[in-house]
Structure 1
């Protein structure tokens, strides 16, 4: 599955493309749209994008889990060594596993709190246009249908900017690129 991004200039074009995508056998939950006038989208029957599609919340949660578990393990070892006499009834393995679970859950929670405030890489890129009334459509398509969907939309709506997230954009957005 890959995600195509369509930057559309107005509501009518957005609704037309949503109907075309439906005609191309894409389900409503594969098309997510964000824009300043989201109520108009809802009235036209177009699926509004959620925080999951417009922010970095999912990637942030994964990073929180990735760093939370090892930190929980380390804290568990430190707690066992420091509090050795006070923890007579708790086994070493139980303490380590408990702290790993706690670290993972705490990592997910704290990271998602931050991730909710960070825009998705393309939402961030097109933020100015969205504020000026454009709409950003995020369309999840099977990899083997990507060219078909791209061609159909570009043929009927040459004014629409069609984009994908590049590896460089992703690395830059995650703070690992230039």
Structure 2
């Protein structure tokens, strides 16, 4: 189980220093994600993927639920038709629900990929002013240790809290 720690760093040099400290503390590169305003060159820093920086996952989940509900509803409407055999009605409802779920998840994820993450909305003003957001996914038993390490090596950085449950994808 990992916790996601959020830190706002004032500049690129501070972000590189934080990354080096975390790598030396044996936090893997793949668990460090840096996010900045559009157009900022992060150089060798591990840039946050669309899974971390957009609303792709949340939108896909909502699209899946809505698509499944609409597909099941349309299947139920067709199921009351006297033209269908009684045995094929549950199959039709299931197929339309599954098709609706897949279509809903796909279309909503396409939209969600272009929408900034709701989890990161609180950092938008700081990012607009040129700060860099560090998202570090650390083991739950090392949260305090990593916070202390970053505080000592980057006194100019701002600790912005943590999430106790890191999402499976982002």
TM-score computed with the length of structure 2 as normaliser: 0.84
Structure 2 residue aligned with 1:158: 155
Q: Answer yes or no: is the 8 Å Cα contact 2:60–2:109 preserved in 1.
A: yes
> How far off its partner does 1:142 sit?
1.4
Q: Which of 110, 114, 119 is the matching residue for 2:116?
A: 119
Structure 2 residue aligned with 1:81: 80
Structure 2 residue aligned with 1:7: 8
> How far off its partner does 1:113 sit?
2.7
In structure 2, the gaps of 5 or more residues are 165-170
> How far off its partner does 1:75 sit?
1.3
Tell me the number of residue pairs that the alignment of Structure 1 and Structure 2 aligns: 163
> How far off its partner does 1:23 sit?
0.8
Q: Answer yes or no: is the 8 Å Cα contact 1:38–1:48 preserved in 2.
A: no
Moved more, 107-116 or 25-34: 107-116
Structure 1 residue aligned with 2:167: none
Evaluate the alpha carbon distance shift between residue 119 and residue 161 of structure 1 in structure 2; reply closer, same or farther with a 3 A threshold. Answer: same
TM-score computed with the length of structure 1 as normaliser: 0.81
Q: Does residue 27 of structure 1 match 2:25?
A: no
User: Partners of 1:166 and 1:31 in 2: how far apart?
Assistant: 14
Moved more, 45-54 or 55-64: 55-64
> How far off its partner does 1:145 sit?
1.1
Structure 2 residue aligned with 1:70: 69
Q: Answer yes or no: is the 8 Å Cα contact 1:70–1:103 preserved in 2.
A: yes
Evaluate the alpha carbon distance shift between residue 37 and residue 57 of structure 1 in structure 2; reply closer, same or farther with a 3 A threshold. Answer: closer
Moved more, 99-108 or 112-121: 112-121
Structure 2 residue aligned with 1:170: none
> How far off its partner does 1:88 sit?
5.1
Higher relative contact order (CA 8 A, sep 6+): 2
